[in-house]
Amino acid sequence: MQVTCGIDWAEDHHDVAVVDSEARLLGKLRISDDAAGFQELLHLLAEHGDSPDEPIPVAIETSRGLLVACLRATGRRVYAINPMAVARYRDRHTVSRKKSDHQDALVLANILRTDAEHHRPLPGDSDLVRAIAVLARAQQDAVWDRTRAQNRLRSHLREYYPSILEAFSDRREHLLAREARAILAIAPTPTEAAALTRSRLKAAVVRAGRQRRIEAETDRIREILRRAWMHQPPLVETAMGHQTLALLAQLNAACQACDDLAQATEELFLQHPDAEIITSFPGLAVLTGARILAEIGDDRTRFDTARNLKAYAGSAPVTRESGRSRQVNHRRIKNSRLAATGRHWAFAALTASPGAHAHYNRRRDAGDRYHAALRHLFNRMLGQLHHCLNTHQKFDEGIAFATPARPELSAAA
């Protein structure tokens, strides 16, 4: 008898339902979110045939948390079902639109009973790659937080402190530059910045870590800060300076978090056996390679074909066809983290790989826009990565972007 289990997850408790192959409810239970509750769950499953050799599969609406980690540790298949899909299955069983936690657990159990082959269990990734995923995603979140903090500070400075923005407008880092943050720390208002002595300004530049052209950079910044600029009233300017120091503290904390997490991610990623293969690809450095590995994992059975991996990454197009209407558009339902990393990868590959640059130019000549051409390049290189990881070989430019034979030469041969 096939038995399946569904768990409706909540913050402090979980509802459990166990059904058989005939959709009969064998047992239901509400457990607490602690070790005692997990033991109650294991006892319920054991009562209905759960064993180490044939563990009962479990469907749940999340892929994270202690409960999921403990379930995976038992060696059973755990299916993370999207809550939107669960809502559609709920309408399949009842049209009254009623909802309860027990009913959701029952729906999850029935999803596995009827359509388990249409859903994927959580991948069997190693603990190392799961640890890399934790750090890589945290670092990516820190980068986004840093960008938001920089934009908030820049928007605030535009209202009363245009001189500091002008001083670092030609720098790639803008306000992320250490010199900019060091100057804001000692002069949060334009009046204080204009009154800075040359020696104090030079000390701030040196403290920020600059080692070359210190004198020239000091003179350049001092000249800009001492120009004639519009000012807020003195009392308002002082208040805005206090707000700048608060925003600057948030930006400094975000920058420090980015650096610390990046170092930890790179150190852990280099311990993985796939790191050498991944970083052999043009455009993939250690940090971006760690992000790629974090999202695709090291369970090679997860993506049977490169096509499945491309769909997961959102680089493969999706076709919508109905009657005489047929549209081929880019995929919106995807792993957003992998797609974001893929754009950086494809852009970096343009200068690191002649073959990638030539492929991009061909797509542009064919009428693709910038983002579409980059997405197409990412799609191709993702297929190459899938092949190299499954065959345990490094990237080879000559094989990956081999020049196709011209038709007239093939005919002559």
Q: Could you tell me how far CA 102 lies from the centroid of its own chain?
A: 33
Whole-angstrom distance, CA of residue 198 vs CA of residue 190: 15
List, in order, residues 6 or more apart from 190 with CB less than 8 Å away: 160, 161, 162, 163, 164, 225, 229, 231, 237
- Which CATH number does the domain housing residue 63 bear? 3.30.420.40
Residues 222 and 296 both lie in one domain? no
Residues 71 and 191 both lie in one domain? no
Q: What pLDDT, on the 0 to 100 scale, is given for residue 324?
A: 80
In a domain, residue 406? The reply is no
Q: Tokens for 61, please give them.
A: 């609406």
The model carries a pTM of 0.85
Q: How many CB atoms lie within 10 A of CB 117?
A: 7
In a domain, residue 83? The reply is yes
Q: Tokens for 82, please give them.
A: 């999207």
Residues 166 and 113 both lie in one domain? no
Q: Is the pLDDT of residue 106 over 60?
A: yes
Of 122, 156, 191, at which residue does a domain stop?
A: 122
Residues 373 and 260 both lie in one domain? no
Q: Which long-range contacts (CB under 8 A, 24 or more apart) does 358-367 make?
A: 358/401, 359/401
| Pairing of the two strands 58-60 and 78-80 | parallel
Element spanning 5, H or E: strand 3-9
Residues 313 and 383 both lie in one domain? yes
Of 232, 267, 302, at which residue does a domain stop?
A: 267
- Pick the closest to residue 38 from 76, 80, 82 (CA basis): 76
Of 93, 122, 151, at which residue does a domain stop?
A: 122
Residues 92 and 152 both lie in one domain? no
Residues 153 and 77 both lie in one domain? no
In a domain, residue 411? The reply is no
For tokens 């755990």, the residue is: 78
Q: Is the pLDDT of residue 399 over 80?
A: yes
In 172-317, beta strands by DSSP E: none
Q: What pLDDT, on the 0 to 100 scale, is given for residue 156?
A: 96
Specify the amino acid at residue 356: A
Residues 117 and 14 both lie in one domain? yes
Decide if 243 contacts 251 (C-beta within 8 A). no
Q: What is the pLDDT of residues 241-293, one digit of tens each?
A: 999 999 999 999 999 999 999 999 999 999 999 999 999 999 999 999 999 99
Q: What does the DSSP 8-state code read for residue 195?
A: T
Q: Which long-range contacts (CB under 8 A, 24 or more apart) does 176-179 make?
A: 176/146, 176/150, 176/251, 176/255, 177/208, 178/208, 178/209, 178/210, 179/204, 179/205, 179/208, 179/210, 179/217, 179/221
Residues 296 and 239 both lie in one domain? no
Q: What percent of the chain stands above pLDDT 90?
A: 72
Q: Tokens for 45, please give them.
A: 């499953």
Domain that holds residue 305: 276-400
Average pLDDT over residues 353-372: 93
Q: What pLDDT, on the 0 to 100 scale, is given for residue 340?
A: 93
Number of domains in the chain: 3
Q: Tokens for 92, please give them.
A: 């399949």
- Pick the closest to residue 356 from 317, 395, 311, 389 (CA basis): 395
DSSP 24-65: -EEEEEEEESSHHHHHHHHHHHHHTT--SSSPPPEEES-S-S
Q: How far from 9 is each of 23, 80, 81, 84, 347, CA to CA, in Å? A: 21, 11, 11, 14, 40
Q: What is the pLDDT of residues 189-228, one digit of tens each?
A: 999 999 999 999 999 999 988 889 999 999 999 999 999 9
In a domain, residue 409? The reply is no
- 319 forms beta bridges with 328
* Mean pLDDT, rounded, of the chain: 90
In a domain, residue 367? The reply is yes
In 137-292, beta strands by DSSP E: none
Q: How far from 164 is each of 91, 180, 203, 224, CA to CA, in Å? A: 58, 7, 17, 8
In a domain, residue 196? The reply is yes
In a domain, residue 410? The reply is no
pLDDT band at 333 (very low <50, low <70, confident <90, very high): confident
Q: Angle, nearest 10°, between helix axes 354-365 and 370-391?
A: 140
